[in-house]
Structure 1
Amino acid sequence: MSIDVRTIAASELPTWLGAVATGFLTATPVTESDIAQRAKYTDLARTQGAFDPDTGRCVGTFRSFAQQITVPGGAQLPASAVSNVTVSPTHRRRGLLSRMMRAELTAAKERGEVLSTLIAAEYPIYGRYGYGPATAISEWEIDVPRTGLDPRWAAPEDGGRIDLVDAAEMRRVGPAVHERLRATTHGAIDRPERWWSLATGLEEISVRPYKPCFFAVYRSAAGEAEGVVSYRADGQWTDAKLPLNTVEVKDLVATTVAAQRALWHYLCSIDWVMKVRTGYRAPDDLVPSLLPDPRAARMVTDADYLWVRLLDVAAALGARTYAVPGSLVLEVTDPAGLAGGRFRLVAGTGAAACAPTTDPADLRLDVARLGSLYLGDGSAVRWAALGGIEELRPGALALADAVFRTARRPWCPDVF
């Protein structure tokens, strides 16, 4: 049986969405509203489907969209963000994902996108396509009574203020705060207008019904909005009428330490709240150390998150800044034939340069391992110990670690 893999037509969007729901184990029927909303923002030229000729059903899905990602030093690079990847359980192990991935990566390189990104639902799948885990996330559960925070706290000590706002005000204030954070946070990606519409309930899709949130804004003493948070609270009480409420943070963006401190203190000061779930944060987030007793924050999640696949090695490496100066010749292998070659990186604390070279290589690594190093979180020494990088010149591994690593770990606040 020959499965037809191709970009989809507008008329095929309903069956394509049905296949997405099947792949993600969602039995909720696709509604006319879902189809209409998807039609508005889905680029059909970047949307693939695999179709069974015997039944006409869509049995595999794949979509990409244009994305901007911040790299160390603040440059924002064009990326191809991959999402909605599924293969129906009846058609597994037939190479459908490989065909769709090959078509997308080839097209992305032709479009001039420097790299490709995705959030991997399963770890073993994407390494064979050249993706490497490049950021991680952590989540903490804060035991509020043990924090040591003053239970009589009523307002930030720095002269700032926290205001509860409605969804419309969050849509007005939030994007600018996020953009300021993204400018200084490597690993962060852009949020289109639709992100804010979904996050505030202006739009809703049936497979992910909107649950109302509280919204709050931190403003400095000068009146500048420097942080926003959206959160929900459950209604748990004991039989003895003692509150056991948990606050679940959906999104917290802050551009200053003062804003972070104030927002976390605010969440821990809400009456009836015994626990705060922080949502996905950077692994080196300040939140535990902002508490008088950091042990009150128990880590509950520690996992890989954003994966990166380089498509233009010279452009990607030349765009970021590096912790220390140094020169390395990297021999990059890429079975897909998209990004392989030998490149000399001349790193500086400011500008850097990277170009193809015929000089002898200092390190040999595949494109997936380079993706893991790219945003500053991976360790060349560690990957070498695991067999993923080969040192060809003594001292090159140590230099690579010093050059690539960043003082703060990269963080991608968003799923896509």
Structure 2
Amino acid sequence: MTRPRSDIDVRPIGEAEIPDWIRALNTGFLRSPGVSEDEVADRSSYIEPARTLGAFDGGRCVGTFRSFEQRLTAVGGAEVPADAITNVSVTATHRRRGILTRMMAEDLGAAKERGDVVATLIAAEYPIYGRYGFGPATWMTEWTVDVPRAGLDPRWAGPADGGRIDLVDREDVRKLGPELHERVRRARPGAVSRTERWWQVETGAVHLDRAPWVEPFFAVYRSATGEVEGMAAYKCDDRWDDKQPAETAKVRWLIATTPAAERALWLHLCSIDWVTKVRSGWRGPDDLLPFLLPDPRAARITTHADWLWVRILDVVRALEARTYDGEGSLVLEVVDRAGLSGGRYRLEVAGAEASCTATDRAAELTLDVADLATLWLGDESVLRLVALGRVWEERAGAARMADALLRTPGRPWCPDMF
């Protein structure tokens, strides 16, 4: 068994080390390792050196890790401070030496001390992050709609509810989008905050040579009162087969505060001349899209996978931040091998109030901190995790009570990659 090498230095990077850190990141993600001046200037403009870790072997960066401030919506609409983790890589020549474990421990320890309630990430590979206490807390589904088969009215020319859809410019998106997204985020458990830079990148105000800017179409739905309630960005390819149009509209993102806005935007996408397929992009698994079509089978699932992973750093604040539909009390034994948030806790829910306190009462459920994260946003069943051997029921009936408390009627969803 290969043991971690003590001569590999894991630490926050200095400004002069940013180019080497970018080269290591590009290498780890199997992109060309070349680093342009524009790329260095762009990274330098937004990374926080104190939260940007590098692993150095003989002065050369062989591992990368970055985190940033994020707000995550809990069940019920409250937001919690999150340590958002991204840009994680270890160079292939330095695998199995404990580099990721050391970078993760340093970042999570700092996040705990800072007062973050959870850490979040989007996992490139499923098996990596469970051992660090992360659990998949939201899932995503992508549909491909066969438009001719969907059975939609070919004469559809716009919403019948008094609202309207307009195509707008990217300046309009930067002006209208952030406020709309905040309304969407506050209403959707699992949604995360977007930075100003996110809107700049998505509208071409910031772009790199590595990813040339191609402007998408931007559609906005306004209600009958003129309020912006939905927005979508999409691109269309240029494909014809045997003199017949075969264009695909690929949705980059679509957000809406009302079902009417969501319906109107999907019908708009499915009614564009020449478009025969619509790819939905990353959607919540309970998205309305298939059932907005007269023939839901025209929307074929092309991707279904885990999406946002969560790591609980403060059990008390995490459980008290969310709301619960039922009432009752439950004693949880939370196992955390990293020693960050383990212990025995009593969750008590009465009316609209929830309290969570450390206790020495006998545990009713025992579970790993990663499985608590999977349950926290309400998407998973405690009974199913008991059947899988991942949660242990110490008192008969405790799992069913936990399901009644923790499960939510709608599924959480994170619209974003970060």
TM value normalised by structure 2:
0.97
Match of 2:290 in 1: 288
Task: Please tell me whether residue 7 in structure 1 is matched to residue 9 in structure 2.
Answer: no
Question: Shift of residue 379 of structure 1?
Answer: 1.2
Match of 1:252 in 2: 254
Question: Among 366, 369, 394, which residue is 1:367 paired with?
Answer: 369
Question: Shift of residue 352 of structure 1?
Answer: 0.9
Question: Shift of residue 385 of structure 1?
Answer: 1.3
Question: Shift of residue 205 of structure 1?
Answer: 2.5
Task: Please tell me whether residue 207 in structure 1 is matched to residue 210 in structure 2.
Answer: yes
Query: In structure 1, the residue corresponding to 2:325 is in which secondary structure?
Result: coil
The Cα offsets for residues 181-207 of structure 1, whole Å up to 9 and x where unpaired, read as 001000000001100000011101233
Contact 2:74/2:377, CA 8 A, preserved across alignment: yes
Farther off after superposition, 108-117 or 344-353:
344-353
**Cα RMSD between the aligned structures?**
0.9
Question: Among 186, 190, 212, which residue is 1:187 paired with?
Answer: 190
Match of 1:149 in 2: 152
Match of 1:131 in 2: 134
CA distance in 2, matches of 1:326, 1:297: 41
Question: Among 90, 94, 98, which residue is 2:97 paired with?
Answer: 94
Tell me the amino acid that sits aligned with residue 184 of structure 1. Answer: A
Q: Relative to 1, partners in 2 of residues 1:28 and 1:191: Cα closer, same or farther, differing over 3 Å? A: same
The aligned runs of 1:386-401 (5 Å cut-off) are 386-401=388-403
Question: Shift of residue 216 of structure 1?
Answer: 0.8
Query: In structure 1, the residue corresponding to 2:19 is in which secondary structure?
Result: helix
CA distance in 2, matches of 1:17, 1:368: 30
Farther off after superposition, 117-126 or 206-215:
206-215
Match of 1:383 in 2: 385
CA distance in 2, matches of 1:325, 1:357: 19
Question: Shift of residue 213 of structure 1?
Answer: 0.3
Tell me the amino acid that sits aligned with residue 56 of structure 2. Answer: F
Question: Among 27, 36, 51, which residue is 1:31 paired with?
Answer: 36
Farther off after superposition, 19-28 or 265-274:
19-28
Q: Relative to 1, partners in 2 of residues 1:349 and 1:373: Cα closer, same or farther, differing over 3 Å? A: farther
Question: Among 382, 404, 409, which residue is 1:407 paired with?
Answer: 409
**For this pair of structures, how many residues does the alignment match?**
413
The Cα offsets for residues 281-304 of structure 1, whole Å up to 9 and x where unpaired, read as 000001111111111100111100
Tell me the amino acid that sits aligned with residue 28 of structure 2. Answer: G
CA distance in 2, matches of 1:210, 1:186: 31
Tell me the amino acid that sits aligned with residue 25 of structure 1. Answer: L
Question: Shift of residue 347 of structure 1?
Answer: 2.2
Question: Shift of residue 246 of structure 1?
Answer: 0.3
Question: Shift of residue 348 of structure 1?
Answer: 4.2
Match of 1:103 in 2: 106
The aligned runs of 1:300-339 (5 Å cut-off) are 300-339=302-341
Query: In structure 2, the residue corresponding to 1:378 is in which secondary structure?
Result: coil
Match of 2:79 in 1: 76
Farther off after superposition, 321-330 or 349-358:
349-358
Task: Please tell me whether residue 121 in structure 1 is matched to residue 124 in structure 2.
Answer: yes
CA distance in 1, matches of 2:85, 2:32: 23
Tell me the amino acid that sits aligned with residue 220 of structure 2. Answer: V
Query: In structure 2, the residue corresponding to 1:63 is in which secondary structure?
Result: strand
Question: Among 45, 51, 71, which residue is 1:46 paired with?
Answer: 51
Question: Shift of residue 96 of structure 1?
Answer: 0.2
Question: Among 228, 232, 248, which residue is 2:231 paired with?
Answer: 228
Tell me the amino acid that sits aligned with residue 148 of structure 1. Answer: G
CA distance in 1, matches of 2:384, 2:225: 46
The Cα offsets for residues 337-388 of structure 1, whole Å up to 9 and x where unpaired, read as 1000000001245221111111111000010000100100111111111111
Give unpaired runs (5+ residues) of structure 1: none
Query: In structure 2, the residue corresponding to 1:15 is in which secondary structure?
Result: helix
Query: In structure 2, the residue corresponding to 1:301 is in which secondary structure?
Result: strand
Match of 1:161 in 2: 164
Question: Shift of residue 326 of structure 1?
Answer: 1.5
Contact 2:27/2:33, CA 8 A, preserved across alignment: no
Match of 1:140 in 2: 143
Question: Shift of residue 211 of structure 1?
Answer: 2.3
Task: Please tell me whether residue 17 in structure 1 is matched to residue 22 in structure 2.
Answer: yes
Query: In structure 1, the residue corresponding to 2:396 is in which secondary structure?
Result: coil
Q: Relative to 1, partners in 2 of residues 1:100 and 1:116: Cα closer, same or farther, differing over 3 Å? A: same
Match of 1:354 in 2: 356
Percent of pairs with identical residues: 59
Question: Shift of residue 325 of structure 1?
Answer: 1.1
Query: In structure 1, the residue corresponding to 2:284 is in which secondary structure?
Result: coil
Q: Relative to 1, partners in 2 of residues 1:143 and 1:348: Cα closer, same or farther, differing over 3 Å? A: farther
Farther off after superposition, 172-181 or 342-351:
342-351
Query: In structure 1, the residue corresponding to 2:100 is in which secondary structure?
Result: helix
The Cα offsets for residues 107-151 of structure 1, whole Å up to 9 and x where unpaired, read as 000000001000000111100000000000000000101111111
TM value normalised by structure 1:
0.98
Contact 1:118/1:306, CA 8 A, preserved across alignment: yes
CA distance in 1, matches of 2:208, 2:381: 40
